[in-house]
Amino acid sequence: MAPQFTVIRDTTPDSAILKGAVVAMGNFDGVHLGHRAVIAAALEMGRTHGRPALALTFEPHPRRFFSPNTPQFRLTDECAKLRLLAGTGLAGAVVMTFDKARAGTTAQDFIHHELIERLGVSGIAVGYDFHFGKGRVGSPSLLVNEAPRLGIEVDVQPHVDIDERPVSSSAIRTALAEGLIDEATTMLGAPWFITGEVIHGEKRGRDLGYPTANIRLDANCGLKHGIYAVRVGRGQGKDQVRLNGVASFGRRPTFDNGAPLLEIFLFDFKGDLYGQALDCAFVGFIREELKFDGIDALIRQMDDDSARARAMLAAAPDAFPRLGTVD
């Protein structure tokens, strides 16, 4: 049985906190390879000193607090982020509410009151560009300078580069917006995924011979509209069933040009999925969304899309993010 992944929040009583843990600090949007380097450093520090390792992150994302009216394309919402963190081997996560009070907390107060007094951390791993505290005064160098006096160890991880380009959440968002799925997957270390509940649609796909499971994504999702090869997870944990499919994300220009919708056709599957939550991992980009002059042309294109999706998925047999279970 996998060890339980503990989530510590502002409301968690002090008696329930894993004192003396090592923490990997960051926003961890996407939990990409740069984040995973920080997490690996925390895990190694924890193994060396016989301490549990936790992620320390913030919700909502600080950008949401500082720019509430600016659309924010998040790679992972809180639930998805925690499931990815739970799949890394960490013992748990500290989720701190990012509100006016926390935004106004000085870096020194954050270190002493939150990290030392409340959490009792024994070590900290951070990325080279992580900042915290009022005015973003807190920095890796501040932590390094404070470490000897506080009796803790600090590990600062450099940026992770791929083809001489730094891995970052913003670079991944750009790749997804351009349909560069392979590039996003490389930076993430696994395919980007979403989780959503299957809703009722217009049922046009059923009439075309391609019944779909429809999921409404976040309104700020910046994924390029188009057709994708996808792998879908039904259920959670060791009991999750994986299914292959082809999906359309967009406005359906042939029909209604309505609000963006993810429509997934699952290969070799029959059943009712309404109301169920599915994980959908994007394995490959097939083509842009198109408007067709007639149904026959659309069906021929869907046949071709399905064949191309099957080939992409066959070439990527293990393509799925490693997700843990969060209670």
Q: For residue 2, what pLDDT is reported?
A: 56
Residues 122 and 269 in one domain: no
Q: Is residue 24 assigned to a domain?
A: yes
CA distance 279 to 197: 9
Residue 137 pLDDT: 95
> What 3-state class would DSSP assign to 65?
helix
d(CA 58, CA 66): 13
19 in the same domain as 151: yes
Same domain, 16 and 157: yes
pLDDT at 293: 85
Q: Are residues 201 and 298 in the same domain?
A: yes
Residue 266 lies in a domain: yes
CATH number at residue 256: 2.40.30.30
What are the distances in angstroms from CA 313 to CA 52, 159, 230, 260, 291? 37, 31, 8, 24, 26
**Secondary structure E strands in the chain:** 6-9, 22-25, 53-59, 92-97, 123-127, 153-157, 161-162, 165-166, 193-199, 213-215, 226-234, 241-250, 261-266, 277-288
Report DSSP letters for 2-34, one per residue. Answer: PPP-EEEETTS-GGGS-TT-EEEES--SS--HH
Tell me the percentage of the chain whose pLDDT exceeds 90: 86
Q: Residue 294 contacts by C-beta under 8 Å, 6 or more apart in sequence?
A: none
Quick one: 123 and 24 in the same domain?
yes
Q: Is residue 114 part of a domain?
A: yes
Q: Decide if 184 contacts 192 (C-beta within 8 A).
A: yes
pLDDT digits (tens, 9 = 90+) for 128-142: 999 999 999 999 999
What is the spatial distance between Cα 81 and Cα 58, in angstroms, rounded to a whole number? 11
Reported as a single tens digit per residue, the pLDDT across 84-126 is 999 999 999 999 999 999 999 999 999 999 999 999 999 999 9
Claim to verify: residue 71 and residue 141 sit in the same structural domain = yes
Is residue 207 pLDDT above 80, yes or no?
Answer: no
Domain that holds residue 207: 181-315
| CATH number of 69's domain | 3.40.50.620
Q: What is the pLDDT of residues 143-154, one digit of tens each?
A: 999 999 999 999
Same domain as 150, residue 26: yes
231 and 143 part of one domain: no
Q: Is residue 17 part of a domain?
A: yes
Task: Give the tens place of pLDDT for each residue, 159-191.
Answer: 999 999 999 999 999 999 999 999 999 999 999
Q: What's the domain count of the chain?
A: 2
322 within domain boundaries:
no
What separation, in Å, do the N-terminal and C-terminal C-alpha atoms of the chain show?
14
**Could you give the CA distance from residue 205 to residue 159 in angstroms, rounded to a whole number?**
45
**1 within some domain:** no
Residues 265 and 157 in one domain: no
Residue 129 lies in a domain: yes
Q: Is residue 243 part of a domain?
A: yes
- Asked if residue 251 and residue 106 are part of one domain, the reply reads no
Residues 125/23, Cβ–Cβ less than 8 Å: yes
Max CA pair span of the chain = 73
